[in-house]
Amino acid sequence: MRQHIAAAFMLAAAAPLGAQAAWVAISSDAARRIEIDPASVQKEDGNRHVALGRILFEKELVDPRSSENYKSIEALTRYDCSLRTFATLKRTWRKADGELLREEEVRSVAELPVRSGSLEDKLLREVCRPRSAVAAQGAAAKLAERADAAAGDLRRANEAMIQQQVNKEIRKNVKTATLPVAEGGAAPAAAAPAPKPAAAPAPAPVAAAPQPAARPAPKPRPAPVAAPAVEPTRSYANIPWSYEGEGGPDHWGKLKPEYATCASGKRQSPIDIRDGIRVDQPAIEFSWRPSQFRIVDNGHSVQVAVGGSSIGLLGKTYELLHLHFHRPSEERVNGRSFEMSAHFVHKSEDGRLAVVAVLMERGEENSFVQTLWNYLPLEKNEDVTPPNVVVDPAKFLPADHSYYTYMGSLTTPPCTENVQWLVLKQPVPVSAEQIAIFSRLYRNNARPIQPSFGRLIKESR
């Protein structure tokens, strides 16, 4: 097996990073396009071929690891044309200008069956077709024409795959886990579209990240491959972060080197908000608009992406990336916590994060929350985008927009600092029943209070 991987990586390395790849669409919808570079298809041995493909997103998404935007995920994938299986070998996240954001080599490569009619099926047929340049183009064009329905599967499948690998790796006690999703960095799934116009599509090597379709956990024919020599981290490295137990908040800083700030940071969130200086603060200019939404239970919270909303603060505009909920509220005010809170994560063009926190206390039914709860996905990591349903986040806001503000961090790994918190002083109501519904999913998904280290807190007077 080792030589297969080696060959695959050599192939990737051989493909120059330039605008070399001639991407051909296999499937597309409004949000993303699945493409393959037919010229990248290489016979590895026997009936196996390795190919480069990618998901090109219509809008930039935020990488939860780095909190930076990416525009495409490329994947190097091996297809077995006779067994009809595939295995993803490597994924590469790229920015809008094609610049490399990060790469991830898949450690325990699993051969997964290709289901008829799935997106992988289309890719496999493309890859396994007898090579002929002209025919390749023609067939690809035909495929592109028919591309539609399967498109949405890919990202879901991608997440399922990542999760599957995580689980698998945990089970096998192997060295690396992959577990994205952070406060500021929406999961690829639910990441709200960042506003920037698309720059030139990513050039580059590496193939499609096609995955198995989400649910039907196929019996993977395990094809473990010796992982390239990469750092084995510490013994904590196999544990995904969570809110209790070994992966709980006290251990976040040890789970991965990237999470070190969770333990060492001096400007962490949440904090107990007290002793703020009372001043006339600039208004938060809310431009929250009604829009359709995408909702996902990402395993840490219920997260919702909406489009077209932003806030303005001191002349700077921050786009709303997504919102999610905590129970109980993470922030405290003079020691008091609330039943729940909602975090509206915003990001400015220059990458600054600002989170608007709305405290929620028991009271009347909340219509904004109810609409979201009506469409709670049945499964984790499978998002729902209800057609023709609109929510208006502005209706969720309390009447009084006065707020506390301080500099803190994401409250989930990697606990990135330099986040401006805007905690609205007036809570909004949420009914006992609505709280109970969230509690069925997340009884406690609040990070404990962090030391404030004398940080300045300002408060609207």
Residues in contact with Zn ion, shown as a per-residue x/- string from 182 to 201 under the rule CB under 5 A: -x------------------
Structure tokens at 417: 């600092």
DSSP structure string for 425-440: SS-EEE-HHHHHHHHH
CA distance 252 to 249: 5
For residue 179, the 8-state DSSP code is -
CA distance 115 to 121: 6
User: Do 57 and 14 touch, CB atoms closer than 8 A?
Assistant: no
Q: Tell me how far, at minimum, the Cβ of 344 lies from Zn ion, in Å.
A: 9
Q: Per 3-state DSSP, what percentage of the chain is helix, strand, and coil (rounded to 5)?
A: 25, 30, 45
- Indicate the residue among 327 and 343 with the shorter CB distance to Zn ion: 343
Q: Tell me how far, at minimum, the Cβ of 84 lies from Zn ion, in Å.
A: 42
Structure tokens at 21: 């790849």
Number of residues that bind Zn ion (CB under 5 A): 2
CA distance 397 to 284: 12
Q: Tell me how far, at minimum, the Cβ of 170 lies from Zn ion, in Å.
A: 24
**For Zn ion, which stretch binds (CB under 5 A), given 104-112, 178-186, 191-199, 271-279?**
178-186
User: Do 186 and 321 touch, CB atoms closer than 8 A?
Assistant: yes
Q: How far is CA 438 from the centre of its chain?
A: 21
Residue of minimal Cβ distance to Zn ion: 343
Residues in contact with Zn ion, shown as a per-residue x/- string from 17 to 56 under the rule CB under 5 A: ----------------------------------------
- Indicate the residue among 156 and 343 with the shorter CB distance to Zn ion: 343
- Indicate the residue among 40 and 303 with the shorter CB distance to Zn ion: 303
Residue 251 identity? H
- Indicate the residue among 86 and 344 with the shorter CB distance to Zn ion: 344
300 annotated active-site: yes
- Indicate the residue among 154 and 355 with the shorter CB distance to Zn ion: 355
- Indicate the residue among 183 and 383 with the shorter CB distance to Zn ion: 183
Q: Tell me how far, at minimum, the Cβ of 426 lies from Zn ion, in Å.
A: 19
Residue whose C-alpha is closest to residue 331's, from 427, 454, 262:
427
* C-alpha dihedral (397, 402, 407, 413), degrees to nearest 10: -20
CA distance 178 to 166: 6
**For Zn ion, which stretch binds (CB under 5 A), given 90-98, 131-139, 177-185, 440-448?**
177-185
Q: Counting contacts by CB under 5 A, is residue 322 touching Zn ion?
A: no
Q: Which of 4, 49, 300, 324 is catalytic?
A: 300
Q: Counting contacts by CB under 5 A, is residue 94 touching Zn ion?
A: no
Structure tokens at 75: 């994947």
User: Do 432 and 363 touch, CB atoms closer than 8 A?
Assistant: no
Q: Counting contacts by CB under 5 A, is residue 343 touching Zn ion?
A: yes
Residue 240, CB-side half-sphere exposure with 13 Å CA sphere: 20
Q: Tell me how far, at minimum, the Cβ of 155 lies from Zn ion, in Å.
A: 22
Q: Tell me how far, at minimum, the Cβ of 269 lies from Zn ion, in Å.
A: 9
**For Zn ion, which stretch binds (CB under 5 A), given 98-106, 233-241, 337-345, 437-445?**
337-345
**For Zn ion, which stretch binds (CB under 5 A), given 23-31, 39-47, 152-160, 175-183?**
175-183
Q: Tell me how far, at minimum, the Cβ of 65 lies from Zn ion, in Å.
A: 17
CA distance 424 to 426: 6
- Indicate the residue among 107 and 343 with the shorter CB distance to Zn ion: 343
Direct distance between the N- and C-terminal alpha carbons of the chain, in angstroms, rounded to an integer: 66
Residue whose C-alpha is closest to residue 63's, from 410, 421, 418:
410
**For Zn ion, which stretch binds (CB under 5 A), given 32-40, 59-67, 179-187, 435-443?**
179-187
Where do contacts with Zn ion occur on this chain (CB under 5 A)?
183, 343
Q: Catalytic site residues?
A: 300
